[in-house]
Amino acid sequence: MKTVKWRRELPLHILVFPSLIIVFLYCYIPMFGNIIAFQDFRPIKGLLGSEWTGLTNLKYVLEMPNTYRIIWNTVYISTMKIMMGNIVPIIIALMLNEIRKTYVRRSIQTMIYFPYFLSWVILAGILIDILSVQNGIVNQALGWFGIQPIYFLGNNTWFPITLVVTDTWKEFGFNTIVFLAALTSINPSLYEAALIDGANRWKQTLHITLPGILPIVILMTTLSLGNVLNAGFDQVFNLYSPQVYESGDILDTMIYRIGVADAQYGPATAIGLLKSSVSLMLISVSYWMAYRFANYRIF
């Protein structure tokens, strides 16, 4: 019996094998480079020849004047993205669920889902034009109401808000589909019983729809906790400038500048390793919470 099962599953294992090789080569072997975080790394000497300095690099990074402000920017921006990335899709999913014309609902779904497939390189160019102070459509529209132009990408007050709003606009279409799928799992007889009892659409939403999708909401929220230190490098890197470093600089852009632009490989690897370690703990906690409160497990 075991032999028959093994022969049946062997093709599946063969299909997975190339992916395992790729993961091993590009994800696990490069982890050996984390030792740079504990070295005064010199490329000419290599990983094994560079001088060992212990925690000096980490101490150097943590003593930099802007480090804690950058950590705060990262946590603040990512937390706001997580909140809006769950609230907006729930509202849109509930609204789409009320549309009875199938072709209308599917057309709207397609339109809101489309930005998800665009890269931030493309969207950044579009947003820079749209939000321009001189000729941007947004500021021209504000001018019609007598509002002074706003420098969305160059003002430290508005830049984090711009990041959160544009990221929500790009990503909410995907999560909307997740919540729409959750809505389809609710038993229609519950709505029929509520209608007989005289419940209007608002009461049905409040007492049937929202409790019905609550497990998925909890699941999506808890799984998002692992991204608290990931504020979106692609978006920030393509939109920010030295003018908004105070409010828009995050850990990933800091690592890029220190490691790539300034060639300080040790400090950059140290802060990257610290970020990855904290993210690992957050991911572990989020999966435990997902199992505890939403009965979700990977295996």
Query: For the whole model, what pTM was predicted?
Result: 0.83
Distance CA 50, CA 40 (A): 6
| pLDDT confidence of residue 44 | 82
Distance CA 271, CA 258 (A): 10
pLDDT 10s digits, 18-62: 888 999 998 888 888 888 888 888 888 877 888 888 888 888 888
Lowest-confidence region among 65-74, 114-123, 211-220: 211-220
Q: What is the set of domains in the chain, with CATH numbers?
A: 1-54 (no CATH), 65-294 (1.10.3720.10)
| pLDDT confidence of residue 4 | 67
**DSSP string for residues in 18-65:** HHHHHHIIIIIGGGGGGGGGGEE--TTTHHHHSEE-TTHHHHHHHTST
Confidence class for position 297, pLDDT limits 50, 70, 90: low
CB 154 within 8 A of CB 131: no
What's the Cα-to-Cα distance from 110 to each of 20, 56, 106, 118, 294, rounded to whole Å? 34, 51, 6, 13, 29
pLDDT 10s digits, 98-146: 887 878 888 888 888 888 888 899 998 889 888 888 888 888 888 888 8
Residue 51 β-bridge partners: 40
Confidence class for position 191, pLDDT limits 50, 70, 90: confident
Measuring CA to CA, which residue among 225, 73, 96 is closest to residue 164? 73
296 in helix, strand or coil? Answer: coil
295 in helix, strand or coil? Answer: coil
Confidence class for position 182, pLDDT limits 50, 70, 90: confident
